[in-house]
């Protein structure tokens, strides 16, 4: 007899009260037709301030009645587990918590706003079986409906990232991904505090197959990303996976230092031959300013890395749990 494999659907939620009903409806419908697999929801409430947690709790209750009375509830027959954070720790922390809690043969991460089409789940499973890969990831081939400026910066970010870091991040990759247990274990074993999942997925290796889809706009609510938030995400991602800025400023500093030495020697020779040249005042000031600026720039890049080291060495947990139904116990805040 063919064994039934388990897939955990990990859903990070931050103020998604308005989308969750439709989300669960659609996803449950999409996965109920997939034979040979059993699904479990793992909702991560990332410190929402709306009714997200109540919604999730109610799904968990419905699941129990559905199981006993054969009732077709919202999450009919699909087990619902959840973890609720003590505050908003960010999507990265939520994904990490979900992966950590996952026990299935596969883990599937997807957004709660239906920007990741549930119909693709089936295709992902088929493709994974077909190719025997460890992971199947979705890639947006269009950014339709997204603010233009965001697309431009995102493209630029991936270009720079791939050029200067050791990892290759595919343009348009989203956090919609099906992964084998082995890959999940590898990701969970990376305990870093400042997580950049797109980089981590690439860094752990394993074979990944891709499916492509057109961008979909979120069904309700709004994107949690501000311009500032996205810029910070880009810088964090880059710094987490590339040490080349350090090398770059080092080389740049070296070249300017050698250049200024040459200039200095040339000036001395010139003074000896031609005599004192008082109008050199302006160029001196220019040089002082140039080097002052350069040193500050270099220091700030180094500072970014040291700041990160400082935060990592504190060894703080990635998230703090306030409530959960995993292992059938409600855990107090720790
Ligand atoms: N999210 C989260 N914590 C946050 C921000 C977002 O768990 O601090 C979740 C959010 O609920 C959604 C997913 O991450 O399920 C993607 O967020 P959003 O739709 O705001 O991002 P976008 O699609 O605009 O990139
Ligand atoms: Mg979204």
Among 10, 11, 14, residue to substitute to test ligand 1 (most atoms within 8 Å of Cβ)? 14
With a cut of 90, say whether residue 45 has pLDDT above it: yes
pLDDT higher than 50, residue 43: yes
Sheet holding 135-140, edge to edge: 208-213, 135-140, 173-180, 106-109, 5-13, 37-45, 79-85, 321-324
Crossing angle for the helix pair 148-164 and 227-241, to the nearest 10 degrees: 10
First CA to last CA across the chain, in angstroms? 44
Scanning 10-118, the segments in alpha helix (DSSP H) are: 20-32, 52-69, 91-101
pTM for this one? 0.77
If one compares 68 and 37, the residue with the highest pLDDT of the two is 37
Atom 18 (ligand 1): residue with closest C-alpha? 223
**147 or 124: whose pLDDT is higher?**
124
What digits encode the pLDDT tens for the residues 62-100? 754 444 444 444 455 788 899 999 999 999 999 999 999
Give the separation between CA 135 and CA 164, rounded to whole angstroms.
25
How remote is the CA of residue 334 from the centroid of ligand 1, in Å?
25
Strands 106-109 vs 79-85: parallel, antiparallel or unpaired = unpaired
Question: What's the 23 CA to ligand 2 centre distance in angstroms?
Answer: 12
Say how far apart CA 32 and CA 329 lie, in whole Å.
Answer: 28
Pick from 79-88, 309-318, 320-329: least confident: 320-329
Task: Give the dihedral of Cα atoms 160, 161, 166, 171; nearest 10 deg.
Answer: -110
- pLDDT tens readout for residues 220-272: 777 777 778 888 888 888 877 777 777 777 777 778 777 777 887 887 888 78
DSSP 183-229: HHHHHHT---SS--HHHHHHHT---EEEEEE-----SSS--S--HHH
Which atom of ligand 1 approaches the CA of 90 most closely? Answer: 8
How high is the pLDDT of residue 166? 77
Q: What are phi and psi of 43, to 5 degrees?
A: -90, 135
Specify the ligand 1 atom closest to the Cα of 44. Answer: 7
| CA-to-CA separations, 30 to 123, 172, 245, 261, in angstroms, rounded | 11, 24, 45, 68
Task: Name the residue at shortest CA distance from atom 21 of ligand 1.
Answer: 223
Please tell me the least confidently modeled range out of 83-87, 109-113, 124-128, 298-302: 298-302
Please state, rounded to an integer, the average pLDDT across all residues of the chain.
82
Q: Cα-Cα-Cα-Cα dihedral of 238, 239, 243, 249, to 10°? A: 100
- The pLDDT assigned to 112 comes to 92
Share of the chain above pLDDT 70, in %: 90
Pocket of ligand 1 (CB under 6 A): 12-14, 16, 46, 88, 90-91, 94, 111-113, 115, 218, 223-225
The bound ligand whose nearest atom lies closest to the alpha carbon of 176 is 1
Ligand nearest to the CA of 12: 1
Of the candidates 8, 38, 16, the residue with the CA atom closest to the CA atom of residue 84: 16
Most confident residue range from 24-38, 84-98, 165-179, 235-249 = 84-98
Atom of ligand 1 nearest to the CA of 218: 19
Q: What average pLDDT does this structure show over 311-333?
A: 76
Residues 312-329 have a mean pLDDT of 83
The reported pLDDT for the residue numbered 107 is 96
* φ and ψ of 70, to 5 deg: 55, 30
Testing ligand 1's pocket by substitution, the residue of 113, 118, 149, 197 carrying the most ligand atoms inside 8 A of its CB is 113
Cα-to-centroid distance, 54 and ligand 2 (Å):
21
pLDDT at position 282, please? 61
Strands in 87-207 per DSSP E: 106-109, 135-140, 173-180
Lowest mean pLDDT among 117-131, 197-211, 215-229: 215-229
What span, in angstroms and rounded, lies between the C-alpha atoms of 267 and 245? 32
Residue 240's contacts (CB-CB under 8 Å, 6 or more residues apart) are: 192, 194, 195, 196, 199, 308
Report which bound ligand comes closest to the CA of 146. 1
* Confidence (pLDDT) at 214: 82
Which ligand 1 atom sits closest to the C-alpha of 222? 20
What's the gap in Å between 127 CA and the centre of ligand 2? Answer: 24
pLDDT at position 12 is 96
Task: Give the pLDDT band of residue 285 (cuts 50, 70, 90).
Answer: low
**pLDDT value at residue 277:** 65
Residue nearest ligand 1's atom 22 by CA? 223
pLDDT of residue 6: 92
């Amino acid at each position: 007899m063919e064994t039934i494999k388990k897939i955990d659907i990990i859903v990070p939620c931050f103020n998604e009260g308005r989308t969750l009903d439709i989300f669960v409806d659609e996803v449950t419908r999409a996965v109920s037709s997939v034979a040979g697999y059993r699904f479990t929801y793992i909702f991560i409430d990332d410190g929402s301030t709306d009714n997200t947690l109540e919604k999730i709790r109610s799904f968990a209750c419905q699941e129990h009645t559905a199981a006993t009375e054969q009732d077709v509830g919202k999450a009919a027959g699909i087990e619902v587990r959840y973890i609720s954070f003590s505050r908003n720790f960010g999507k990265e922390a939520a994904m990490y918590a979900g992966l950590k809690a996952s026990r299935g043969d596969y883990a599937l991460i997807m957004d709660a706003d239906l920007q990741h089409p549930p119909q693709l789940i089936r295709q992902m499973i088929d493709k994974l079986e077909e190719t025997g890969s460890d992971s199947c990831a979705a890639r947006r081939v269009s950014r339709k409906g997204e603010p233009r400026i965001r697309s431009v910066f995102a493209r630029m970010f991936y270009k720079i990232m791939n050029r200067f870091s050791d990892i290759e991040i595919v343009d348009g990759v989203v956090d919609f991904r099906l992964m084998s247990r082995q890959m999940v274990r590898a990701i969970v074993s990376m305990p870093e505090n400042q997580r950049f999942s797109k980089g981590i997925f690439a860094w752990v290796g394993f074979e990944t197959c891709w499916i492509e889809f057109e961008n979909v706009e979120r069904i309700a609510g709004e994107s949690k990303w501000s311009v500032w938030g996205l810029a910070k995400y880009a810088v964090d991602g880059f710094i987490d996976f590339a040490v080349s800025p350090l090398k770059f400023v080092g080389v740049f500093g070296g070249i300017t230092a050698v250049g200024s030495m040459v200039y200095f020697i040339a000036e001395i020779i010139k003074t000896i031959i031609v005599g004192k040249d008082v109008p050199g005042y302006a160029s001196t000031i220019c040089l002082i300013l140039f080097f002052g600026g350069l040193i500050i720039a270099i220091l700030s890049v180094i500072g970014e890395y040291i700041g990160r080291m400082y935060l990592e060495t504190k060894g703080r947990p990635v998230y703090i749990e306030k409530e959960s139904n995993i292992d059938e116990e409600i855990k107090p805040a720790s």
